């Protein structure tokens, strides 16, 4: 190659010596050399940090109260819709904004249906009790976003996701859909009410 | 390819000394021009998307159409078209080699443009409001899937031509020894591109078959894992291409090279080997996956791909530092950085891109990919903030920076608008910084992504949370940042278009770059005996890049602090499991 040194900006390479080398030209024939002292240190520190990040997830499994739900099942959308309707009919205590309000018994399976474009039913829970929310969709994919505590889960049709929650504060907590699910995505909401 | 024997001689570029094949040059130029036009189109959409938040009357339907097209236009069309331009440039000009099968390459270019047209038609006519992700069972018009498939298939063929160029260049000995580092990086991007595009094509093929009635159903979970093969993989192509462009900019602006060639190449290999596992980042709160599966994949197996990025985080600034010190510029820890060519757009883009990518994009990405932390982040605006930090302030800014060299060289015209070019990276980076930081903050407050009305005015069960507190301020900052970023984008497109249309024709574009962009024509290298001394004492005096070493340690401290804060936030949430 005649020249290269793009750095020379049109100038000629230095007389006699090697043509200038940069990232744009082939490296010297032997390009592996020992790491410098600072590179070696950084490489070690960086790798240790990678191991910390990795083991951090296992550590949190041991010490954290907030864990990614794992329990899930296959279910047809029609089966899920039917089971949820039965459950809502059994436990319904009222209605708000046209949506049934349900008062579950702590520990039991609580159905929460995501569909275009609402979460159903509105749940009235008790503080510091643990509930098994059985979440699925009867149509397209949705995103279950519990606010303002800001817990977010993917909801897939055909898959039942079991999310165990223990509300530790009282009040009204909105659910919003945060997976685009159609032109009514921005009206898809729901609610969890937590009482003492 | 048969024509090689009696093909015309290659021309020698008067600026760089590289030998240039005309068909390779024209192809790379065509792709670069198409890419810039796509960026311009995507920027126009960004304005409307941002201003709708401030009350510009756009129907919800149209807002979603704009969001869908903005995503495809930027993430797929702008970036991949530019990357193909870079691949063709790297595999011909940088290797003094010929473009293989140029007719096939032109045919592919036409097919890709057709694909873009089909997809854009489908999105703007309201036949494909399914967003970039296109999750089933949402369905779009078959021509939408076909358009995307055509485009992705075109990129795949272009990658094959890139490899053909490289292999034939090696066989014909058009370059000596190993590939230049930049081409090596492009090759890494190309390899990642192959498996990303193959999984993406599989995902879209399923949807296409469903849309024409051949399949009755596509399993949503299966689709998600296939889709994120490209949805995530394409971002890793962007990452590898961006790092290669960073190295290219070190060469173009400073004549530098990595302090340890072997280490930089090793990092690219790590990237190729492990980065695709990150596809599962998007499935962290999906039903159907076990804990170990999630952790092993989300961590790229012990975070080995993050290690690759951490290596580049050292090697890239160290390359700048070494190049500066070699010239005797800057004593002490940071003198080399202070006295850097800040007025040169290639250099400012490089540094802004590296710094922002590391401190914001990279760190937010690792936090999101941490299994339990993802519950606080999934599908919130934090995700949008993260990927605007990566592909906009990282990749797009780097691509803009190299354009100031690449387009004049490819078009054989002088750069027009150097004063605008000088300011452009700062304006653009400032806008994107505001945009992304505000998005990250809003996401932390729970703001969901892709929602046309955060006031939930038409929702039966009302939600007032996003009209209160700091959220409206954050959303205003998002809009202001977006407008500023678009101003920076307009400056860039303006310089590019003017260069292409009215730039003076020349055989030696950029010949007096130093005069144009300030004091880049640095003093000649200092005598060898003075080289190693960096004016520091003790162990720092032995370091190859002491300033860089200090900076990466600061970066790590920032990383650790954010990691701890994120877990503190997680602990405030409701117990869940
Ligand atoms: Cu929804």
Nearest to B264 by CA among B221, B324, B319, B338: B319
Burial class of residue B160 in the structure, from the number of CB atoms within 10 Å of its CB (0-12 exposed, 13-18 middle, 19+ buried): middle
Query: Closest residue of B to A129, CA-based?
Result: B575
Q: What is the A135 CA–ligand 1 centroid distance (Å)?
A: 13
Is position A46 within any domain? no
Q: Is B380 helix (H, G, I), strand (E, B) or coil?
A: strand
Chain A residues in contact with B558 (beta carbon < 8 A): none
As a whole-number percent, the residues of chain B with pLDDT over 90 amount to 73
Q: Does B556 sit within 8 Å of A179, measured CB to CB?
A: no
Say if A21 is an interface residue toward chain B (CB within 8 Å).
yes
Q: What is the mean pLDDT of residues B295-303?
A: 88
Cα gap B445→A147, rounded to integer Å: 9
Preceding omega of A117 cis (within 30 degrees of 0): yes
Query: Closest residue of A to B448, CA-based?
Result: A178
Nearest to B180 by CA among B261, B259, B241: B261
pTM over the 0.95 mark: no
The band of B35, judged by pLDDT with boundaries at 50, 70 and 90, is: very high
A contact test, residue of B255, B293, B344 with most A CBs within 10 A: B255
Q: How many CA atoms lie within 13 A of B439 on its CB side?
A: 29
pLDDT at B321 over 80: yes
Is position A127 within any domain? yes
The band of B8, judged by pLDDT with boundaries at 50, 70 and 90, is: low
Is position A54 within any domain? no
Nearest to B131 by CA among B79, B207, B68, B78: B68
Q: Does B221 sit within 8 Å of A159, measured CB to CB?
A: yes
Q: Does A149 sit within 8 Å of B573, measured CB to CB?
A: yes
Residue B5's pLDDT is what?
A: 47
Cα gap B509→A10, rounded to integer Å: 9
Phi, psi dihedrals of residue A162, rounded to the nearest 5°: -100, 115
Domain count across chain A: 1
Is position A17 within any domain? no
pLDDT at B354 over 50: yes
Residue A8's pLDDT is what?
A: 34
Residue A19's pLDDT is what?
A: 52
Tokens of B439: 């998005």
Is position A63 within any domain? no
What distance in Å separates residue B238's CA from the closest CA in chain A?
A: 19
Is position A91 within any domain? yes
pLDDT at B184 over 50: yes
Tokens of B87: 């691949």
Q: Does A140 sit within 8 Å of B137, measured CB to CB?
A: yes
Residues A110, A121: contact at Cβ < 8 Å?
Answer: no
The band of B325, judged by pLDDT with boundaries at 50, 70 and 90, is: confident
Q: What is the B286 CA–ligand 1 centroid distance (Å)?
A: 15
In angstroms, what CA-CA distances link A121 with A61, A134, A137, B519?
31, 12, 13, 68
B contact test, residue of A180, A183, A187, A188 with most B CBs within 10 A: A180
What distance in Å separates residue A59's CA from the closest CA in chain B?
A: 11
Residue B399's pLDDT is what?
A: 97
Q: Taking the CB of residue B103, how many other CB atoms lie within 10 A of it?
A: 10
**pLDDT < 50 stretches in chain A:** 1-18
Cα gap B566→B570, rounded to integer Å: 6
- Average per-residue pLDDT for chain B: 90
A104 is in which domain, residue-wise?
A: 72-195
pLDDT in tens, B73-82: 999 999 999 9
What distance in Å separates residue B113's CA from the closest CA in chain A?
A: 28
Q: Is B345 helix (H, G, I), strand (E, B) or coil?
A: helix
For residue A128, give the CATH number of its domain.
Answer: 2.60.40.420
**Residue that is written with structure tokens 């027009």 in the block:** B416
Q: What is the A114 CA–ligand 1 centroid distance (Å)?
A: 7
Which ipTM value was assigned to this complex? 0.90
Chain A residues in contact with B475 (beta carbon < 8 A): none
Q: Which of A7, A36, A69 sits opposite B254 (nearest CB)?
A: A7
Cα gap B436→B61, rounded to integer Å: 25
Tokens of B398: 């780097």
Cα gap B143→B115, rounded to integer Å: 9
Q: What is the B3 CA–ligand 1 centroid distance (Å)?
A: 57
Query: Closest residue of A to B128, CA-based?
Result: A182
In angstroms, what CA-CA distances link B29 with A23, A47, B21, B32, B101?
22, 41, 12, 5, 16
Chain B residues in contact with A9 (beta carbon < 8 A): 15, 510-514, 521
Residues A149, A163: contact at Cβ < 8 Å?
Answer: no
Chain A residues in contact with B93 (beta carbon < 8 A): none
Is position A58 within any domain? no
Helix/strand/coil (H, E, C) string of chain A?
Answer: CCCCCHHHCCCCCCCCCCCCCCCCCCCCCCCCCCCCHHHHHHHHHHHHHHHHHHHHHHHHHHHCCECCCCCEEECCHHHHHHHHHHHHHHHEEEEECCEEEECCCCCCEEEEEEECCEEECEEEEECCCCEEEEEEECCCCEEEEECCCCEEEEECECEEEEEEECCCCCEEEEEEECCCCCCCHHHCEEEEEEEC
Q: What is the A142 CA–ligand 1 centroid distance (Å)?
A: 4
Chain A residues in contact with B462 (beta carbon < 8 A): 97, 189
What distance in Å separates residue A38's CA from the closest CA in chain B?
A: 5
Q: Does A150 sit within 8 Å of B379, measured CB to CB?
A: no
What distance in Å separates residue B575's CA from the closest CA in chain A?
A: 5
Region of B295 (left: φ > 0; alpha: ψ -120 to 50; beta: rest) is: alpha
Is position A157 within any domain? yes
Q: Taking the CB of residue A108, how many other CB atoms lie within 10 A of it?
A: 11
The kind and range of the H/E element at B119 are helix B102-124
Nearest to B17 by CA among A14, A11, A2: A2
Burial B105-115 (b: 16+ CB within 10 A, else e): beebbeebbeb
């Amino acid at each position: 190659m005649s020249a290269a040194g793009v750095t020379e900006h049109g100038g000629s390479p230095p007389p006699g010596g090697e043509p200038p080398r940069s990232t744009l030209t082939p490296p010297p024939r032997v390009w592996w050399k020992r790491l410098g002292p600072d590179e070696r240190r950084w490489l070690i520190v960086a790798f240790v940090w990678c191991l910390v990040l990795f083991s951090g997830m296992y550590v949190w499994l041991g010490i954290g109260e907030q864990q990614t739900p794992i329990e899930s099942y296959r279910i047809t959308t029609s089966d899920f819709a039917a089971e949820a309707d039965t459950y809502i009919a059994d436990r319904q205590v009222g209605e708000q904004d046209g949506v049934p309000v349900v008062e579950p018994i702590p520990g039991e399976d609580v159905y929460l249906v995501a569909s275009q474009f609402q979460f159903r039913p509105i749940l009235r829970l008790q503080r510091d009790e643990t509930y098994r929310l059985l979440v699925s969709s009867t149509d397209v994919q949705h995103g279950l976003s519990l606010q303002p505590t800001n817990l977010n889960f993917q909801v897939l049709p055909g898959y039942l996701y079991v999310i165990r929650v223990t509300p530790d504060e009282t009040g009204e907590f909105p659910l919003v859909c945060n997976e685009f699910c159609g032109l009514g995505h921005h009206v898809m909401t729901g609610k969890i009410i937590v009482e003492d | 390819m048969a024509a090689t024997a009696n093909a015309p001689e290659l021309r020698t570029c008067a600026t760089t000394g590289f030998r240039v094949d005309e068909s390779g040059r024209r192809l790379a130029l065509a792709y670069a021009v198409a890419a810039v036009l796509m960026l311009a189109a995507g920027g126009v959409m960004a304005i409307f998307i941002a201003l709708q938040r401030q009350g510009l009357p756009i129907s919800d339907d149209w807002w979603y159409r704009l969001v869908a097209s903005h995503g495809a236009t930027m993430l797929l069309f702008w970036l991949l078209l530019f990357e193909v331009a870079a691949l063709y440039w790297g595999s011909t000009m940088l290797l003094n080699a010929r473009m293989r099968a140029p007719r096939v390459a032109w045919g592919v270019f036409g097919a890709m443009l057709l694909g873009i047209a089909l997809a854009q038609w489908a999105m703007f006519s309201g036949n494909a409001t399914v967003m970039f992700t296109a999750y089933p069972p949402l369905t779009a018009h078959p021509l939408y899937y076909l358009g995307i498939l055509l485009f992705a298939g075109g990129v795949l063929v272009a990658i094959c031509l890139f490899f053909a160029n490289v292999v034939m260049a090696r066989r014909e000995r058009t370059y000596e020894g190993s590939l230049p580092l930049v081409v090596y990086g492009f090759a890494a991007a190309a390899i990642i591109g192959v498996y990303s595009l193959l999984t993406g094509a599989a995902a879209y093929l399923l949807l296409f078959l469903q849309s024409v009635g051949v399949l009755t159903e596509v399993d949503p979970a299966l689709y998600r894992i296939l889709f994120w093969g490209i949805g995530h993989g394409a971002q890793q192509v962007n990452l590898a291409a961006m790092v290669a462009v960073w190295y290219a900019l070190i060469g173009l602006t400073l004549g530098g090279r990595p302090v340890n060639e072997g280490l930089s190449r090793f990092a690219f290999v790590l990237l190729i080997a492990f980065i695709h596992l990150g596809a599962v980042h998007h499935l962290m709160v999906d039903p159907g996956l076990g804990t170990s599966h999630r952790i092993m994949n989300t961590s790229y197996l012990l975070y080995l791909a993050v290690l690759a990025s951490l290596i580049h985080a050292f090697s890239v600034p160290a390359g700048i530092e070494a190049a500066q010190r070699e010239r005797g510029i800057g004593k002490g820890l940071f003198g080399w950085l202070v006295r850097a060519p800040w007025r040169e757009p290639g250099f400012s883009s490089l540094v802004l891109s590296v710094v922002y990518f590391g401190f914001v994009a990279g760190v937010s990405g690792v936090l999101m990919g941490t299994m339990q932390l993802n519950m606080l982040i999934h599908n919130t605006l934090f995700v949008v903030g993260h990927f605007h930090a990566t592909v906009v302030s990282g990749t797009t800014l780097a691509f803009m920076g190299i354009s100031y060299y690449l387009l004049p060289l490819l078009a054989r015209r002088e750069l027009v608008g150097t004063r605008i070019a000088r300011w452009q990276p700062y304006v653009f980076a400032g806008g994107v910084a505001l945009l992304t930081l505000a998005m990250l903050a809003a996401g932390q407050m729970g703001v969901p992504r892709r929602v046309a009305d955060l006031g939930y005015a038409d929702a039966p069960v009302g939600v007032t949370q996003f009209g209160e507190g700091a959220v409206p301020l954050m959303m205003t900052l998002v809009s202001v940042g977006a407008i500023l970023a678009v101003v920076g984008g307009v400056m860039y497109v303006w310089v590019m278009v003017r260069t292409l249309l009215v730039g003076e024709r020349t055989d030696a574009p950029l010949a007096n770059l130093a005069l144009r962009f300030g004091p880049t024509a640095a003093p000649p290298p200092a005598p060898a005996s003075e080289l190693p001394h960096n004016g520091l004492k003790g162990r720092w005096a032995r370091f190859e890049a002491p300033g860089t070493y200090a900076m990466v340690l600061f970066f790590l401290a920032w990383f650790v602090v954010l990691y701890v804060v994120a877990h503190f936030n997680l602990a405030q949430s409701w117990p869940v499991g």
